Chains A and B, each alone.
Chain A
Amino acid sequence: DTGVSQNPRHKITKRGQNVTFRCDPISEHNRLYWYRQTLGQGPEFLTYFQNEAQLEKSRLLSDRFSAERPKGSFSTLEIQRTEQGDSAMYLCASSQNLNTEAFFGQGTRLTVV
């Protein structure tokens, strides 16, 4: 395992459909973060986990969004009833602890048509 892995890399979905993305962090990294990045902007924080506990959620994370990390390893981000405004790159990052840098995955690019 050489880095954070995200799947799928690309997803095209019709408006109103549900989508789920997966993130596999670097082994033994107990902190996992989700970010969203729209075209031309920097990434924006969505939520983070310490092990399996979701410790904070941004107000960007509407009720249609839910994230889980059931066993403190991989994480999923689900978007229900997708809207065109959800089109973005969804990035996952992990870090070993508070004192080490976070490593980002390649992201999942979502296009809602």
Chain B
Amino acid sequence: DAKTTQPPSMDCAEGRAANLPCNHSTISGNEYVYWYRQIHSQGPQYIIHGLKNNETNEMASLIITEDRKSSTLILPHATLRDTAVYYCIVRVAEGDYKLSFGAGTTVTVRA
């Protein structure tokens, strides 16, 4: 699976949008971009995934560039409960869940 690069940390104001970048320049055509987050002392939580098109669900939006070499996870209205480590992961379509998490981005939402 392709590797990803994320900033180690970022701060966000409560109520504002949080934009989390991820670089995956070596992504292959059959690889999806997945996002998980992990709140302190809990297991990772699935957020969203996409292949080429932008995706939106009740938690977040995922914007993938046309060349698919980078993506941005958008939390539209960050709350204090969104404080967590966010992992951007590339996974082969229909591949097994041997996910390579990396270090992720520690997002701190401040009041």
Docked complex Cα distance between A109 and B96 (Å): 25
Pick the contact of B96: A31, A40, A107 (CB < 8 A): A31
Binding site for B on A (CB under 8 A): 4, 31, 33, 35, 40-45, 48, 55-56, 58, 91, 93, 95, 98-99, 101-107, 109
Docked complex Cα distance between A93 and B94 (Å): 16
Over the window 67-101 of chain B, the binary record of Cβ atoms lying under 8 Å from chain A Cβ atoms (1 yes, 0 no) is 00000000000000000010100000011111111
Is there an interface contact between A45 and B104, defined as CB atoms closer than 8 Å? Answer: no
Is there an interface contact between B103 and A104, defined as CB atoms closer than 8 Å? Answer: no
The total of Cβ contacts below 8 Å across the A-B interface reads: 55
Q: Does B43 contact A (CB under 8 A)?
A: yes
Is there an interface contact between B49 and A106, defined as CB atoms closer than 8 Å? Answer: no
Task: Tell me the minimal C-beta distance from B49 to chain A in angstroms.
Answer: 7
Is there an interface contact between A93 and B97, defined as CB atoms closer than 8 Å? Answer: yes
Query: How many residues on chain B are close to A (CB under 8 Å)?
Result: 21
Is there an interface contact between A105 and B43, defined as CB atoms closer than 8 Å? Answer: yes
Pick the contact of B102: A42, A95, A105 (CB < 8 A): A42
Chain B residues, Cβ within 8 Å of A43: 44, 99, 101
Task: Tell me the minimal C-beta distance from A36 to chain B in angstroms.
Answer: 11
The residue in chain A whose Cβ has the minimal distance to the Cβ of B87 is A42
Task: Tell me the minimal C-beta distance from B52 to chain A in angstroms.
Answer: 16
Pick the contact of B94: A91, A99, A101, A107 (CB < 8 A): A99
The residue in chain B whose Cβ has the minimal distance to the Cβ of A46 is B98
Docked complex Cα distance between A40 and B44 (Å): 14
The residue in chain A whose Cβ has the minimal distance to the Cβ of B96 is A48
Is there an interface contact between B96 and A91, defined as CB atoms closer than 8 Å? Answer: no
Is there an interface contact between A42 and B97, defined as CB atoms closer than 8 Å? Answer: no
